[in-house]
């Protein structure tokens, strides 16, 4: 194995957390002004894919940053406590120690951004991650369809919090967006935010089911007005999940909201992100559209599982010049 160091990032985690979004009153007037040029969004997204990306040790450094922004996720019907414990073990040590040593970054203490599980698995994840500083995120509020009663959705949030979740990923009622009932969407997200208390709220828009980019942008604004700490593209269960045009639309809404209110809202693409190239593309999107601040786990997360495997394979190629088989970098 050859030794090949990377340029160390200034920090894996930002020393100061951004100012939390407390929300603002619903402003229907600004929603009437929302316009999204789909063709322009697609052209801009295409430039992110086509451009020459960073290479060599700089690419390795970007990929290590990407690792620190992953919400390592298991949301399968056959999840077990054992699988969750194995996932948490990987979350603590997401990249093989020999690779970190060869790159000269073994002292950085790199971990993933969070572990994301169903509410019934939260306690097992909390126990497995004790002392690591890695937060546990739980999907809730009738994930993934979001079609249960408000009472049961709030009860699920409370249960996840009681089990030890520090972050809650809720899914909105798509009907409110498709029918233009923005007050109902605002009230729903505000109720979830209130139920979360000190825990951070990630609001899943399920963008593949919202029909238009204009709907995506309006739903983004309303969710942020209602106090969402993050806006997230997808549950990972829709036919279409995170795409670059949708992500561009959402991050530009975040930028405008920051300019208007001073609040920094995070962004989480989820579903369909599987390769190191995907990680690089979305990191570049965040850097160019929102700036360096949004390349930290406090404001950016990937919702993913298999993404980590390919990043680790790319890092091994950087160190050894060879691509290894996927089973050399297993996830549960």
Active site residues: 169, 232, 268
Cβ proximity of 302 and 279 under 8 Å: yes
What is the Cα Rg of the chain in Å?
19
Give the count of alpha carbons within 13 A of 70, CB side only: 38
- CA-to-CA distance for 10 and 16, rounded, in angstroms? 13
Give the count of alpha carbons within 13 A of 143, CB side only: 26
Cβ proximity of 13 and 328 under 8 Å: no
Q: Which string of b and e fits 251-265 if b means at least 16 CB within 10 Å?
A: bbbbebbbeebebbb
- Beta-bridge partners for 167: 137, 200
Q: What is the DSSP letter of 179?
A: T
- Run of H or E residues at 138: strand 136-140
- Beta-bridge partners for 114: 71
Cβ proximity of 137 and 88 under 8 Å: no
- Compute the CA torsion angle 296, 297, 303, 308 (nearest 10 deg): 80
- CA-to-CA distance for 18 and 4, rounded, in angstroms? 34
Helix axis angle, 38-50 relative to 244-261, nearest 10°? 110
């Amino acid at each position: 194995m050859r030794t090949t160091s990377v340029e160390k990032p200034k920090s894996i985690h930002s020393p100061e957390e951004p100012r939390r979004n407390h929300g603002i009153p619903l402003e229907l007037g600004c929603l009437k002004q929302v316009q999204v040029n789909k063709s322009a969004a697609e052209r801009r997204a295409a430039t992110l894919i086509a451009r020459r990306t960073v290479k060599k040790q700089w690419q390795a450094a970007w990929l290590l940053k990407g690792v620190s922004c992953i919400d390592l996720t298991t949301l399968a019907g056959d999840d077990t406590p054992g699988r969750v414990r194995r996932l948490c073990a990987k979350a603590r040590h997401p990249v093989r120690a020999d690779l970190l040593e060869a790159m000269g970054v073994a002292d950085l203490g790199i971990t993933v951004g969070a572990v994301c599980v169903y509410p019934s698995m939260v306690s097992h994840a909390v126990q497995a991650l004790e002392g690591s500083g890695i937060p546990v995120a739980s999907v809730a509020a009738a994930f993934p369809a979001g079609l249960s009663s408000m009472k049961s959705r709030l009860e699920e949030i409370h249960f996840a919090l009681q089990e030890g979740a520090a972050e809650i990923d809720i899914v909105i009622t798509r009907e409110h967006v498709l029918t233009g009932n923005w007050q109902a969407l605002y009230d729903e997200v505000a109720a979830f935010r209130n139920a979360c208390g000190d825990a951070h709220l990630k609001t899943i828009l399920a963008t593949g089911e919202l029909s238009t980019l204009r709907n995506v942008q309006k739903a983004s604004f309303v969710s942020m007005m209602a106090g969402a700490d993050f806006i997230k593209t997808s549950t990972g269960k829709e036919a279409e999940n995170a795409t670059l045009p949708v992500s561009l639309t959402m991050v530009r809404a975040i930028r405008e909201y920051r300019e208007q209110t001073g609040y920094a809202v995070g962004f989480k693409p989820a579903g369909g992100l599987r390769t190191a190239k995907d990680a690089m593309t979305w990191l570049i999107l965040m850097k160019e559209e929102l700036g360096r601040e949004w390349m930290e786990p406090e404001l950016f997360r990937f919702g993913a599982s298999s993404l980590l495997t390919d990043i680790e394979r790319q890092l091994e190629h950087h160190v050894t010049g060879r691509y290894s088989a996927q089973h050399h970098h297993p996830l549960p």
